[in-house]
Structure 1
Amino acid sequence: MATTFAPRAAFPVLDSLPRSYFLGHHRAGLSKMKTLLSTTDVIIECRDYRVPLTSRNPLLEESLGGRARLIVYTKRDLGCAERGNNLKRERLLQKWHHPSPVMFSDHKERRDIRRILDFAREQAANSSTITGTRMMVVGMPNVGKSSLLNALRGLGVGKGRVARTGAQPGVTRKISTSVKIIDCSEGDSHVYLLDTPGVFIPYVPDATAMLKLALCGCVKDSIIAPTTLADYLLFQMNKASPTLYSEFHEPTNDILELLTAIAQKTGRLQKGGTPDIESTAIWMIQRWRSGGLGRFILDDVDAETINEAANPVAPSLSQARKAGKEAIRVRNAARYAGG
């Protein structure tokens, strides 16, 4: 008689995980953003729909306060579960951010981009400036800021992509020049948007939060071992549905079993037919990021978790010192891995 599969109730705490990815260009970018705040009318802050609470960066709110703010949850298509659950979750997030408006976006969906452009037009219409409305898009690394800018420019003025994008964080390292996303020739005021480098949290107290951010690509894949990330992904897939990887293996809590099965089926084998576990783990992670191994949320979003996110526990002095040392170690590791 077959036994019933029981997914792990919790993922083991990994105290050895790095807790920072606050690099030099993050610090420099944030400093430059502050100097541009006086000439910025609106902040568009991007967060990842798959980690709506974890991808919040209080440092951006603290440093760039005092301006109208639109919160855009990007990559909605990669986190879409049942429609009813999405609506409930989205209403909670909108309530959390009130009175700041909140939008949920898939940059490939024209209607989502059109809503953001309509918001920009409304801001421009209420502005008394004759030089055009200026907006700045900010957020954590690799949450889709540049993709959003390209989509807004493409739909708003019919121009091609202007911002480089990539699967790894750090493609945008400097603040861009102003890019026009709405042209007054259509009867509107000019609206310009600045792309900025992603800024990571100086210290992540919770190891699980670091795993979520790494899994979504907010840190370079060289920072956390691919097999560790793949194991955490397996944990999350089992919570969502063990059938997500059924083409490769029956339900399991053993990541090595699953990676071995994937390697054999996809031909990721070393000399002698030995499974290439590390490259298979990277493939598994990248396939999930593109929506090929399920589309689900990593954060639990309810009234209690939103309250915790809104009132984070400040790190102690010893944690802050440790974070400083950790940031240097991570920065050196990233430099060694190619920046």
Structure 2
Amino acid sequence: MKLQRVLQNASTFREVFDFGGREVAHWFPGHMAKGLRQMKASLRKVDCVIEIHDARISCDVGPNPLFQESLNIRPHLLILNKMDLADSSSQQRILRGLKKDGVRNVLFTSCVQHNDENLKKVVPLVTDMIGSGPRFHREEEWDFCLMVIGVPNVGKSSLINALRRIHLKKGRASKVGGEPGITRAVLNRIQICERPRMYLLDTPGVLPPKIESVETGMKLALCGTILDHLVGEDVMADYLLFTLNRLGQFSYVDKYSLGEPSDDIHDVLKRIAVKLGKTKRVRALTGVGDVTVMMPNYSAAAYDFIRAFRRGELGKVVLD
């Protein structure tokens, strides 16, 4: 009976999200432009480019068009990271789509998990890729130099630290964080392996100067790639609710003790705020004068809802 009620409710949910005429949020600050110039200048020293995407939005966000030419002429490994947060049943569908686009070398990883077997495949695969092609005017050098690229907050620095842990038994050499923009410049070469001797350039996350689709921008924002305030946590929370319902992913109901799924973000945030005790004092004018009342803090509830998704607490999801 409960499942039947859920299905009945879901049948009335929105099929299309209304973005209300919003424009795409552009986030291409000065450090990104500077970082991109540094990256392009460093390419002459690079034998292979490792591109990292968030596996939850792997099909929606393609290579930065400003870097496409470099990907075409150098060995290129695509890593789809954060698989611990993504629906693993989507892997074959994603691979088929990438194969149609001509992308052959792909690994799914979870850099935060110490026992991820795919991380151990990175160095052998890259070694094989470089060995089968030219060294780009570096034939006299025996060490390998790689560059890792990607949009902000997809795990570039985490990959470097994980590879150092696996091959050098050393701690992290690159700063990581949960907000976009931690790495601000192309760093010096960081060694990740001794045999073969391999170095990797950490780079700042760089978004395309123009994001073509509002929906793509929303997915980027939900995954922490664009600063929340540039998009608005209220609309991000609403789009997240719409997406979870569309995918039939109702874990949020149990997490916040809602009883049943809902398509009304105002109602969901109100109940989240009450459950978590997130309220604020508001002065209201009544017939007896000004009084202070406690109201749900919708912004705080939206903040918690979005971060629960980013931590994987609302289920494993692919947003594509």
1:240 matched to 2:247? The reply is: yes
Deviations 1:64-99 (A, max 9, x none): 542111111111121125x3x43233233244333x
Match of 2:176 among 157, 165, 168: 165
Match of 2:189 among 156, 162, 178: 178
1:193 matched to 2:203? The reply is: no
Partner of 2:276: 266
How far off is 1:28 after superposition?
Answer: 0.8
Partner of 1:79: 86
How far off is 1:120 after superposition?
Answer: 3.0
Q: Quote the Cα distance in structure 2 between the aligned partners of 1:130 and 1:59.
A: 28
Q: TM-score, normalised by structure 1?
A: 0.81
Partner of 2:76: 69
Instruction: Supply the AA of the counterpart residue of 1:61.
Output: Q
Q: Quote the Cα distance in structure 2 between the aligned partners of 1:286 and 1:49.
A: 17
Match of 1:155 among 158, 163, 166: 166
Check 1:264–1:129 CA distance in 2 against 1; reply closer, same or farther (3 A cut).
Answer: farther
Q: Quote the Cα distance in structure 1 between the aligned partners of 2:152 and 2:70.
A: 17
Partner of 1:204: 211
1:32 matched to 2:31? The reply is: no
SS at match of 2:268: helix
Does the 8 A contact of 1:125 with 1:189 survive in 2?
no
Partner of 1:317: none
Partner of 2:223: 216
Q: Quote the Cα distance in structure 1 between the aligned partners of 2:140 and 2:106.
A: 25
Partner of 1:324: none
Aligned residues: 292
- Report the more deviating stretch, 172-181 or 125-134: 125-134
Percent of aligned pairs with the same residue? 34
Partner of 1:106: 110
Match of 1:289 among 283, 294, 310: 310
Does the 8 A contact of 1:94 with 1:101 survive in 2?
no
- Larger % of strand: which? 2
Deviations 1:293-328 (A, max 9, x none): 1211111xxxxxxxxxxxxxxxxxxxxxxxxxxxxx
Instruction: Supply the AA of the counterpart residue of 1:261.
Output: R
How far off is 1:117 after superposition?
Answer: 2.2
Deviations 1:23-52 (A, max 9, x none): 111111111111111110000001111111
Instruction: Supply the AA of the counterpart residue of 2:17.
Output: F
Q: Quote the Cα distance in structure 2 between the aligned partners of 1:67 and 1:217.
A: 29
Instruction: Supply the AA of the counterpart residue of 1:41.
Output: D
Partner of 1:88: 93
SS at match of 1:223: helix
Check 1:268–1:125 CA distance in 2 against 1; reply closer, same or farther (3 A cut).
Answer: same
Instruction: Supply the AA of the counterpart residue of 1:88.
Output: R
Q: Quote the Cα distance in structure 2 between the aligned partners of 1:242 and 1:182.
A: 41
Instruction: Supply the AA of the counterpart residue of 1:207.
Output: V
Partner of 1:254: 264
Does the 8 A contact of 1:138 with 1:145 survive in 2?
yes
How far off is 1:260 after superposition?
Answer: 0.9
1:8 matched to 2:8? The reply is: no
Partner of 2:285: none
Deviations 1:205-246 (A, max 9, x none): 211111111111111112111111000000011012252211
Q: Quote the Cα distance in structure 2 between the aligned partners of 1:296 and 1:239.
A: 11
Instruction: Supply the AA of the counterpart residue of 1:68.
Output: P
Check 1:105–1:97 CA distance in 2 against 1; reply closer, same or farther (3 A cut).
Answer: farther
Q: Quote the Cα distance in structure 2 between the aligned partners of 1:263 and 1:44.
A: 42
Deviations 1:90-143 (A, max 9, x none): 233244333x41111111143021011221343465565534000000011111
Partner of 1:115: 121
Unaligned runs of 5+ in 2: 282-292
Q: Quote the Cα distance in structure 2 between the aligned partners of 1:255 and 1:239.
A: 14
1:59 matched to 2:66? The reply is: yes
Partner of 1:279: 300
Does the 8 A contact of 1:22 with 1:202 survive in 2?
yes
**4+ residue runs over 3 A deviation:** 62-65, 123-131
